[in-house]
Chain A
């Protein structure tokens, strides 16, 4: 917009005052909104807990739902007895080891396969087939093969991680713009240069994002295998309590598992934003 006449000092001053007021209103509105969200969230949480503690027993038999105080007390007990530490260590070790193995195997095989176009095309349908196997169905098989120890849990966790990392890495590699590769080759880049300077940076966001989300899957794999058959671990704790109809312990176990998953997710998210600050990451789960 252009003005035919320069505004007088008074007019400029008035416009400035209006702008100021608008900005102030806007700020106040946003502050109020934030306060509303905070109180709403806190209120909702308190209401849910109160309902669970006092209201739910009116609707269902309290034996089935326990109550927040009992669950909190049970968590305190488990922590004080040190029992939780054993189970936590076992599950985290299984999930962590499986995660590392699965992620490494996924990366290596994706790079090996995606670097030869033909190889990838030949194997693609098999990978899609394997991808759609409900992998948790293999849990009994692994337990049959490797017994009740930690090995079948590690393998299950690794398998869940493997396919996600593999698919994302392969997709990331194949999504590299062919133009970039051709230009680099024209400028005399070796195969290694192409890999290190073009392919890897281009595929990095997909790889890192997939690695981030798969830790949850590793924990899920370990916990599910512990449901099927185990002698220790968080999944075992929950399964045993559920067989003994000890619902407070079941919920305590679930709360602890959720806390572990959320902590791990938070840490990995921080790690991801440090590693790739410029990218929010797109992933194929």
Chain B
């Protein structure tokens, strides 16, 4: 190869690369503008249509919703109710997650024990979690306890099933090899089982925080006198559509924030391939929490 040709080649390559970069940049701008355009169009359209085409009683309007949010924030209601819901969700999350791992640990290690207990867990898992709400409220009254427990119930099964799955998918060969090489059961647990199950557990922990929020809100819907779920429901009871939408909006903002905060967990175990919890069981697909 002679020098001039390769120079031309490099120049062409360079130009192509530049073009690609420019194309990518243009594409990014296009996306940004299109997305912003949609947001603005929907908000403006909604605001204009409200009161002319649509009855504000049913759909409210963006300004009303914003005004309600500002009012709640100003009167401290948002903080008062939000704190209650978030506390219930976080405490429930902790209880459910710890219980899920602790119950799954021995069952995941001793296969026979798991096989004996499995049908009962499956039955309990197929009780729609929301159906347990009234029971917890009957048992523990209107305070925060039933909300914590409903949240914990939402979290428990997902963490439990994923932890068991994590322990069960440890490659047999690794266990056999380490045993042949003289590892004790404890050493095996520390060096083989836990590192191999950890991605499953972490993935479950990541997806269940929003589930805990949903559990707490469910409890507040059924009966409560505090919390964002209560605020939403009370707004509906007084026919305030703006209030309902403001409640939904603040709940969504919290869930979105939680998802963002938990995102680093996704990369915590970079050497492991990303575990998709939704089918982490391999044998049996596991529902994730996002769909509520």
Contact = CB atoms under 8 A, between A and B. Distances in A.
Q: Do A and B bind each other?
A: yes
Nearest to A262: B126
Task: For chain A, give the interface size range.
Answer: 35 or more
Main secondary structure of the interface of A (DSSP, over half): helix
B221 interface: yes
Interface stretch (B95-103, B187-195, B227-235): B227-235
B290 interface: yes
B248 A137 contact: yes
A132 B117 contact: no
A209 B217 CA distance: 28
Given A129-B252, A262-B126, A134 B138 contact: no
Interface string A106-130: 0000000000001001110110010
A214 interface: yes
Contacts of B137: 242
Contact of B214 (A136, A163, A253): A136
Contact of A138 (B213, B237, B248): B248
B202 interface: no
Nearest to A133: B252
Nearest to A217: B291
B67 interface: no
B259 A132 contact: yes
Interface string B40-59: 00000000000000000010
Contact of B135 (A118, A167, A214, A242): A242
Interface string A239-283: 101100101001101100110011001000000000000001111
B286 interface: yes
A219 B38 CA distance: 33
A220 B128 contact: yes
Nearest to A121: B31
A135 interface: yes
A213 interface: yes
Main secondary structure of the interface of B (DSSP, over half): helix
A125 B247 CA distance: 21
Contacts of B248: 133-134, 137-138, 141
Given A242-B137, A262-B123, A285-B288, 13 more contacts: A37-B115, A44-B117, A133-B251, A135-B291, A141-B248, A143-B236, A144-B241, A216-B128, A224-B221, A227-B222, A228-B233, A258-B128, A280-B285
Nearest to B118: A41
B134 A141 contact: no
A55 interface: no
Nearest to A258: B127
B174 interface: no
Contacts of A253: 131
B259 A257 contact: no
A132 B255 contact: yes
B183 interface: no
B245 interface: yes
A261 B137 CA distance: 23
A40 interface: yes
Task: For chain B, give the interface size range.
Answer: 35 or more
A48 interface: yes
A137 B222 contact: no
Contact of A284 (B139, B232, B251, B288): B288
B291 A40 contact: no
Nearest to A37: B115
Contact of B252 (A40, A132, A283): A132
A203 B69 CA distance: 42
A136 B218 contact: yes
B244 interface: yes
Given A131-B290, A261-B126, A141 B116 contact: no
A73 interface: no
A168 to B, nearest CB: 9
A257 B285 contact: no
B123 A254 contact: no
A228 to B, nearest CB: 6
A121 B237 CA distance: 39
Given A44-B117, A261-B127, A250 B288 contact: no
A239 B222 contact: yes
Given A37-B112, A41-B119, A227-B222, A134 B126 contact: no
A159 to B, nearest CB: 10
Contact of B286 (A132, A163, A258, A285): A285
Contact of A228 (B58, B221, B259, B279): B221
A130 to B, nearest CB: 9
B112 A283 contact: no
B27 to A, nearest CB: 8
Contact of A134 (B120, B123, B210, B236): B210
B256 interface: yes
A213 B117 contact: no
Contacts of A36: 112, 116
A280 B288 CA distance: 17
